[in-house]
C-alpha cells in the first residue's frame, strides 16, 4: 500500500527556481515534498551535528531526493562535497543534484523561457540565503 501524503500548505521556497520546479512536478502530477529531511554529514567530538544537508525535494513515488542549485560552478564545491558525503554515509538514499545549466535547460524544454531568464546571468549565480 502506498503511503498517502496529506495536502500541505504551499511551502516557502528558498529560491524562485524551486517554485518553478515544483510547478513542473505538479503539472506532471508527480508527488513531491519540500525539504522533508535533514541528513547529518559531520559531527564534532561531542556528537553534535556540525554539517548537515537538506535536499530541496523528495519524490516519494520515485524514492528520490533532488537538490537544485543556481550557483556558478566555483560556488558549487560545497554542494558537490555534501553530495559525495551523502553517498558515503547514506548509500541507500537516491539523490541527484541539478545544477544551473540543468535547470535552465529543463525550464527551456518546458517553455518556461521567462522563468529561465533569471538564472541565465551572473546575478543568479551568487549564493542564495539558504543554499
Between CA 40 and CA 42 the distance in angstroms is: 6
Residue 10 confidence (pLDDT) = 79
Residue 126 confidence (pLDDT) = 46
Residue 131 confidence (pLDDT) = 43
Tell me: the pLDDT tens digits for 36-70? 999 999 999 999 999 999 999 999 999 999 998 87
Which set of grid coordinates corresponds to residue 85? Answer: 558525503
Residue 124 confidence (pLDDT) = 44
Residue 111 confidence (pLDDT) = 66
CATH of domain 16-125: 3.40.960
In the chain, domain spans:
16-125
Which set of grid coordinates corresponds to residue 25? Answer: 512536478
**Which single residue is written with the C-alpha cell 541527484?**
96
- Assess contact for 68 and 103: CB atoms under 8 A: yes
Q: Which of the residues in the chain have pLDDT under 50?
A: 1-4, 6, 122-131
Residue 99 confidence (pLDDT) = 78
What is the chain's Cα-based Rg?
16
- Find the length of the chain: 131
Amino acid at each position: 500500500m502506498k503511503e498517502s501524503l496529506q495536502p500541505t500548505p504551499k511551502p516557502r521556497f528558498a529560491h524562485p527556481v524551486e517554485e518553478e520546479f515544483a510547478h513542473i512536478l505538479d503539472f506532471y502530477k508527480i508527488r513531491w515534498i519540500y525539504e522533508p529531511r535533514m541528513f547529518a554529514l559531520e559531527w564534532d567530538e561531542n556528537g553534535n551535528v556540525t554539517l548537515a544537508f537538506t535536499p530541496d525535494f523528495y519524490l516519494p513515488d520515485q524514492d528520490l531526493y533532488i537538490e537544485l542549485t543556481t550557483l556558478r560552478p566555483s560556488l558549487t564545491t560545497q554542494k558537490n562535497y555534501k553530495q559525495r558525503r551523502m553517498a558515503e554515509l547514506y548509500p541507500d538514499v537516491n539523490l541527484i543534484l541539478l545544477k544551473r545549466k540543468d535547470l535552465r535547460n529543463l525550464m527551456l524544454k518546458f517553455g518556461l523561457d521567462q522563468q529561465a531568464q533569471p538564472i541565465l546571468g551572473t546575478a543568479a549565480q551568487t549564493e542564495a540565503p539558504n543554499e
